[in-house]
Amino acid sequence: MALMPTNQSGNPTLKNAFRGAPRPMLATERMTLSGTINKSFLMLAALLIAALYPWSAFFGGEVAVAQSSMLVGMLGGFILAMVLTFKAQWAPFLALPYAALQGLALGGLSAVFERRYPGIAIQSVALTFAVFAVMLLAFRAGLIRATERFRAIVIGATGAIALVYLVSLVLGLFHVEMPLINAATPLGIGISLVIVAVAAMNLILDFDLIESGAASGAPRYMEWYASFALLVTLVWLYIEMLRLLSKARRS
């Protein structure tokens, strides 16, 4: 008997996380909103602290160290994300290491962008958290609701973006670029704005699923898993902010 809500998020890490999970017998073993919030702050702190290392190395002249750290963070973060997508029960042990690895990746990536476009990193951080706050307020106020139609649109758009990025990655291996994605033209900037909007809409689905999971008594480990899933969306949103602002600087 499935006791968890059947709502699905556009974020693949949350898509089926709550479905079929057993309901704990004790209230102290159940997922809560406050517990999820606390763990989300811990993961953000781990990410920011880890990001300082490649950032400092890059601007300290140790470019190779920064690049190595970024590569480790990207590969390690991807591996842990794949593991957690299918093993939500491992989230209490892997969520913080994932956040730290993402910090290494984002610290190096941000430093590269910052060197080329001074001030872009802090602008991207500010815009990311501004969008997060606006979407959270809109969700709590009921201005945006995760209806079935809304969910289907966001999931479809997210899948389409993932497919385009995959095609772009494969073509890049053969030194073929997709100018519509990377060009600093009005159309290219418009595409980035659409992608940022889709990433922001994923936050609404994440908020809805987390609230539903807490209300239905999901297992306590889902607090770590939900925090991990939110971080996935925030990292995506931040990277898209970097891309958008860099295009605006080049236009």
The yes-or-no verdict on residue 251 having pLDDT over 80 is: no
Q: Quote the domain boundaries for residue 103.
A: 27-250
What pLDDT, on the 0 to 100 scale, is given for residue 249? 92
The count of structural domains within the chain is 1
Of the two residues 100 and 25, the one the predictor is more confident about is 100
HSE, CB side, 13 Å, CA atoms: give it for residue 41. Answer: 5
Mean pLDDT of 83-96: 94
Residue 1 lies in a domain: no
pLDDT per position as a tens digit, 171-223 = 877 777 777 777 888 888 999 999 999 999 999 998 988 998 888 888 999 99
What pLDDT, on the 0 to 100 scale, is given for residue 88? 92
Residue 132 lies in a domain: yes
Whether the model pTM is above 0.85: yes
Mean pLDDT of 153-162: 94
Cβ proximity of 208 and 13 under 8 Å? no
pLDDT band at 4 (very low <50, low <70, confident <90, very high): very low
Residue 18 lies in a domain: no
Task: Work out the number of other CB atoms within 10 angstroms of the CB of residue 3.
Answer: 13
**Residues composing the chain:** 251
Mean pLDDT of 64-72: 93
Beta bridge partners of 219: 30
Residue 2 lies in a domain: no
Residue 216 lies in a domain: yes
